[in-house]
């Protein structure tokens, strides 16, 4: 820390992204990326767009907003595209919780407390139940802005739309941010509820189900007023927040429904295979509707299993949050990658005996 660093930020604990090691080639199952390449239609526009990089990107992101709006049956003024959904979350935290307070689950996406601290927003955490599921009733008397991930980060647990509506309807004077980073792997989006609830903001990403993590594209959908508020923050921070190449690729990825359906179907099928294979090896896990599984076994500690898998060339995520430190979080890769993972786990367990 330099002597110039703002005192206000001394205690900031930054977010720790999943490791991206370069020492060898790993089967990478640690950051919930898609194992499949971007849509060929997205790839096809990249070169043409690159030749225009001397020009700024469209600050109104018109074509991307229209593509997202068309897909979800809303008007384009109810959409804002961002530089990854992390940026949508940052804008939303700043717009709807700065000077107020936040509430979110005790086990969830690790960036929520980081953004809260960055913006000086006090927060409370609400424990998940014993099955690692969000109990909507626990939020009934909370006046703070609420943020939840559905499916939940780290656990993969999912709330049906009726529960999301209950959460949003509990208190119409508080904004509820629903982070749907993992919604496309079997869940039902809450975007249609934004037609009726002016206190609901839904955040999504192109990083998982649309195979564009490296392009950094996210978006939020809400009523036009909520989106206008987010635009006020965006135009006070970085008007050209989405770069030209990523924007063009994202438009094509959103329109390529067939490729999206094919990739997400494969992930869901492979999740089923992986869950069954892990159960056979004695693992337990919360039922996941995401592209990862949080798996636990009494036979070996989560951190040790993570380390042993890494030494065998398979990278999974070990998270140190107390309630899940005994587990590993495994991203769903290709069927072949998951077969290798299962084989390596089997070897590790056999070596223990």
Q: List residues binding ligand PMP (CB under 6 A).
A: 84-86, 109, 149, 153, 179, 181, 205, 207, 213, 218
- Nearest-approach distance from CB 84 to ligand PMP, in angstroms: 3
Query: Rounded CA gap, 25 and 100, in Å?
Result: 45
Query: Rounded CA gap, 65 and 234, in Å?
Result: 15
Q: Which is nearer to ligand PMP, 218 or 286 (CB)?
A: 218
C-alpha closest to that of 154 among 107, 216, 102, 98? 107
Q: Which is nearer to ligand PMP, 109 or 260 (CB)?
A: 109
Q: Which is nearer to ligand PMP, 215 or 342 (CB)?
A: 215
Q: Which is nearer to ligand PMP, 179 or 252 (CB)?
A: 179
Q: Which is nearer to ligand PMP, 87 or 256 (CB)?
A: 87
- Nearest-approach distance from CB 292 to ligand PMP, in angstroms: 9
112's enclosing H/E stretch is: helix 111-118
- Nearest-approach distance from CB 181 to ligand PMP, in angstroms: 4
Query: Rounded CA gap, 19 and 23, in Å?
Result: 11
- Nearest-approach distance from CB 154 to ligand PMP, in angstroms: 8
Q: Which is nearer to ligand PMP, 5 or 15 (CB)?
A: 15
CA distances from 109 to 43, 114, 116, 289, 337 (A): 30, 10, 12, 15, 25
Residue nearest to ligand PMP (CB): 84
Tokens 């299962």, located at residue: 342
- Nearest-approach distance from CB 349 to ligand PMP, in angstroms: 28
Q: Which is nearer to ligand PMP, 183 or 227 (CB)?
A: 183
Structural contact between residues 233 and 94, judged by C-beta atoms closer than 8 angstroms: yes
- Nearest-approach distance from CB 228 to ligand PMP, in angstroms: 22
Query: Rounded CA gap, 353 and 30, in Å?
Result: 27
Structural contact between residues 210 and 182, judged by C-beta atoms closer than 8 angstroms: no
What three-state secondary structure class fits 57? coil
347's enclosing H/E stretch is: helix 335-352
Query: Rounded CA gap, 312 and 345, in Å?
Result: 10
């Amino acid at each position: 820390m330099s002597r110039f660093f703002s005192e206000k930020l001394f205690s900031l604990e930054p977010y720790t992204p999943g490791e991206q090691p370069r020492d060898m080639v790993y089967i990478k199952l640690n950051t919930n990326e898609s194992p499949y390449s971007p849509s060929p239609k997205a790839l096809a526009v990249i070169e043409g767009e690159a030749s225009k990089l001397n020009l700024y990107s469209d600050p109104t992101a018109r074509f991307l907003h229209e593509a997202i709006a068309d897909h979800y049956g809303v008007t384009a003024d109810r959409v804002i595209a961002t530089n990854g959904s992390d940026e949508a979350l940052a804008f939303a935290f700043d717009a709807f919780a700065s000077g107020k307070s936040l509430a979110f689950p005790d086990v969830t996406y690790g960036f929520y407390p980081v953004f809260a601290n960055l913006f000086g927003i006090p927060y409370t955490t609400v424990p998940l139940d014993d099955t690692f599921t969000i109990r909507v009733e626990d939020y009934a008397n909370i006046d703070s802005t609420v943020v939840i991930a559905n499916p939940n980060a780290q656990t993969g647990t999912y709330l049906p739309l009726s529960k999301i509506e209950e959460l949003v309807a509990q208190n119409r004077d508080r904004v509820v941010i629903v982070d749907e980073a993992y919604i496309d792997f079997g869940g039902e989006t809450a975007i249609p509820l934004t037609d009726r609830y002016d206190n609901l903001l839904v955040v999504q990403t192109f990083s998982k189900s649309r195979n564009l993590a490296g392009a950094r594209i996210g978006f939020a959908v809400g009523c036009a007023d909520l989106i206008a508020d987010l635009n006020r923050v965006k135009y006070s921070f970085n008007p050209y927040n989405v770069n030209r190449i990523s924007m063009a690729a994202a438009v094509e990825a959103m329109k390529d429904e067939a490729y999206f359906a094919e990739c997400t179907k494969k992930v869901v099928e492979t999740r089923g295979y992986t869950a069954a294979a892990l159960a056979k090896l004695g693992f337990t896990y919360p039922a996941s509707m995401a592209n990862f599984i949080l798996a636990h076994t009494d036979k070996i500690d989560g951190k040790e299993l993570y380390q042993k898998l890494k030494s065998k060339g398979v990278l999974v995520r070990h998270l140190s949050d107390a309630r899940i430190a005994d587990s590993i979080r495994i991203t769903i890769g290709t069927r072949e990658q998951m077969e290798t993972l299962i084989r390596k786990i089997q070897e590790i367990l056999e070596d223990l005996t």
